[in-house]
Amino acid sequence: MRPPTSRLRRAQTYARARQPIETRPVLSNHGVLHHSANVLQKKLAIGKPNDQFEQEADRVADQVMRMPGDKQDLAAPIFGTNNHSLQRKCVCGGTPGPTGECEACRKKRLQRKTQNPELGTRNDSSVPSIVREVLRFGHDFSHLPVDRVYPISSRQSKNSKNGSVLRKAPAAAAADKELVSALFAGNADLKEVQNRRKLLSMGSRGEAVRLVQQALLAEGYDLPKFGADGKFGTETAKAVKDFQRRWRMSVDGIVGDQTLGLLDVHLAAKALLAFGEALPVFGGAVKEAAAAVLDKAEKERRKTACPAADRAERLTACIQPVVIANDDGSTPTVAPALALAQRIWEKCCINLSVLGTKTVKKTNFKTLDESPTNVPTAEETTLFTTAGATSCIQVFVPENFAQAGAVGKDISGGGATYDAGAANPKVVVVEGTVPAVVAHEIGHALGHAGHDAAETVMKPTGAHDAPNSSKVSTAVCTAARTGAALSKTSGKADCCMFPK
C-alpha cells in the first residue's frame, strides 16, 4: 500500500483556465512586470478519491521513489523501514538487488570505479549528499572549508537547535608588530611584549628589563638607587607607574604592549624631532610629522579623557649644551643631564630636543664673571659671541661663577638666564648643577619671566645642588608657552598637558 496522498485540489481550476479575465500590470518584488487577475480565487476543495489529480500525484511519486539514492534510504526517516516500504525499481527499469540497482547496473558502476578510483569517494545519486546532510536536523557544519560553527553569544539570537550559529571563519592572524626605536628594535623579548605574548613586571630580569629602564631614564624618570641594572624591582615599578600616570594610561606598574609601545614611539619620534631641529630647510616638516605621531600614539593609549582646559598644541624647541675646555681643548666641563627638564616641560606639551654638545676652548671662561643683573657681563657676552648664535636655547657650563671678588657655585643660585623669551636665549649654569635647577632656568628661557611662590619648578631654591619641585601649574605652562624659541607643529590642540 502506498502512503495516503493529499486529495486537495483547486476548485474549478481547469474549468476556468480558458475563460477571459481582466488583468493589470503589477511590478513585483524583483522589478519584473507581471499581470494580476482582478478576480478572487475560491477556497480549496476536497476532490473525489482516485480522481485524475490523485492518479497524477501517484505517478509522479512513483518516479521520484525510483530515483537512485545513498545507502541510507531517503524514505526511511519519514516512513520507517517496515514491510510497507516501497520496492524501488532500478533506474534502468530492471529488477533491483539489495543495493537498489540491477546486476547489470552494479557491474557498470564497479567498472567505472576501477577505471577512476576517485569515483569511489563520490556519491552516484542524482541528489547531492550535502542536500541529504543538511536535511538532517542538528548536523555539525564544522567540516565545511569556509564557514565554521562558533558558540552562540548572549547578544545573538538562537536560530539553531544545537545553540550554534553559522558565521565566517576568522581572518588569518596579523603579522607581528615590530618595534621602531633604535633602543628596542631587535630584542626578541621586547617583541614578545609588544605582541601580547609576554609581560615585564616585578621579578622580571634580563636585557629586556635593562632596555626599558634605559628608556625610562631617557624620558626623565629617575632610578636613583639601582639605575638600569636589568632587574625589575620597586624602583622600576614606580617609574613605570609615573610614566603611565603622566600619559593617562592604566596605572599598574606592568610593562605590556601599551606601555612599551608608547615608550617605543616616544624614543623614535623624539629622535626625529632632534633630527628636524638640525635641518635648515625641511626641519619644520619633519618636526610636524614627529609631533603628529606622538599626538596619535598618546591619544590611543589614553584611558582617562583629557580635560578641555589641558588640551594644547604641541610646541617644540631645541637645546644646545656648550661646555668650556682649556685653551688646548683638554678637560672640558660636563654638561648637565637634561632628561628631567624634558620631562617637566613635556607636561606643558613642550618637547625639548637636545642637540650635540659644542665646546669652547678658553681657560679663562671656566671661572665666569656672573652679572648681578639681567644684563650679561663683558666676559659672558664674549663667551656668547665665541659660541655663535643659534635658534636654540644655549646652555653654557663654566666650572664656577665669580662676582664682586667671590668665587663659588651658589652665586646667583648656580644659574642665570639672559634674553629670556627671545629666539636665542642663553642659560648659564655652573658644572654640577642638579637637573631640576637647570629645568628652572630653561623655564625662564621659554618665556616664564618671574618666579613662582607655589611649589613648582619655577620656585627658586638659591643653591645649585638644591633641586626644585618637578611640578608645573596651568599658570606656569601658560607663561612658558610664549617664548620666541618655540615652534608650532599642527595648529591643533591634540596634546594633553599634565599640570601636576
Q: Using one digit for the tens of pLDDT, what is the confidence trace for 23-52?
A: 444 433 333 344 444 445 455 556 666 777
Distance of alpha carbon 345 from alpha carbon 440, whole angstroms: 10
Contact between 424 and 390 (Cβ < 8 Å): yes
Give the torsion sign (CA, 52, 57, 62, 67): positive
Q: At what angle do helices 435-446 and 339-346 cross, to 10 degrees?
A: 50
Please state the rounded mean pLDDT for residues 52-70.
Answer: 62
- Inform me whether the pLDDT recorded for 85 exceeds 60: no
Residue intervals in the chain for CATH 3.40.390.10 = 306-496
Whole-number pLDDT of residue 383? 98
Regarding the domain with residue range 177-305, which homologous superfamily does it belong to in the CATH classification? Answer: PGBD-like superfamily/PGBD (1.10.101.10)
List the one residue out of 485, 481, 480 whose CA is nearest residue 390: 485
Asked if residues 246 and 264 have their Cβ atoms less than 8 Å apart, the reply is no
- Cross-strand partners of 354: 319
Domain span(s) for CATH 1.10.101.10 in the chain:
177-305
Mean local confidence (pLDDT), 108-127 = 53
Residue pLDDT, tens place only, 411-470: 999 999 999 999 999 999 999 999 999 999 999 999 999 999 999 999 999 999 999 999
Say what the pLDDT of residue 96 is: 73
Q: How many residues does the chain have?
A: 500
Closest CA to 313 of 99, 493, 133: 493
Spatial contact of 277 and 283, defined as CB atoms under 8 Å apart: yes
Determine the Cα–Cα distance for residues 19 and 21; give it in Å rounded to an integer. Answer: 6
Contact 317, 470 (CB under 8 A): no
pLDDT tops 70 at residue 217: yes
Q: Rounded CA gap, 258 and 239, in Å? A: 15
What pLDDT sits at residue 431? Answer: 98
Q: Which of 182, 225, 230, 228 is nearest to 206 (CA)?
A: 230
Mean pLDDT of 378-399: 97
Q: What is the mean pLDDT of residues 224-244?
A: 97
The answer for residues whose C-beta is within 8 angstroms of residue 199's C-beta and 6 or more apart is: 193, 254, 255, 256
323 closest CA partner among 286, 292, 363, 287: 363
Segment 235-244 shows an average pLDDT of 98
Across residues 131-135, what is the average pLDDT?
A: 43
Percent above pLDDT 70 for the chain: 69
Q: Give counts: helices (H), strands (E), the chain.
A: 14, 18
Treating both helix axes as pointing N-terminal to C-terminal, what angle do 257-278 and 234-246 enclose, rounded to 10 degrees?
A: 70
Domain 306-496 indexed as CATH 3.40.50.1820: no
Q: Which amino acid is at 59?
A: R
What pLDDT, in 10s, does the model give residues 147-196?
Answer: 333 444 444 444 444 554 445 555 667 799 999 999 999 999 999 999 99
Rounded-to-integer distance, Cα 271 and Cα 277, Å? 10
Cell reading at 277: 631641529
Tell me how far apart the terminal alpha carbons of the chain are, to the nearest angstrom. Answer: 93
DSSP state of 432: T
Minimal CA–CA distance to 351: which of 388, 306, 393? 393
Instruction: Please check the confidence at residue 118 and state whether its pLDDT lies above 70.
Output: no
| Residue 430: closest CA among 463, 457, 397 | 397
d(CA 102, CA 91): 8
Helix (H, G, I), strand (E, B) or coil at 23: strand
pLDDT-wise least confident of 48-52, 60-64, 94-98, 227-231: 60-64
Question: pLDDT at residue 10 above 70?
Answer: no
- Average pLDDT on 319-326 reads 98
pLDDT digit string (tens) for 101-114?
A: 777 777 777 666 55
Across residues 284-300, what is the average pLDDT? 94
Query: Chain-wide mean pLDDT for the chain?
Result: 81
In the prediction, which pLDDT does 6 show?
40
Do 275 and 188 touch, CB atoms closer than 8 A? no
Give the Cα-Cα-Cα angle 18, 21, 26 (nearest 5 degrees). Answer: 125
Residue with cell 512586470: 33
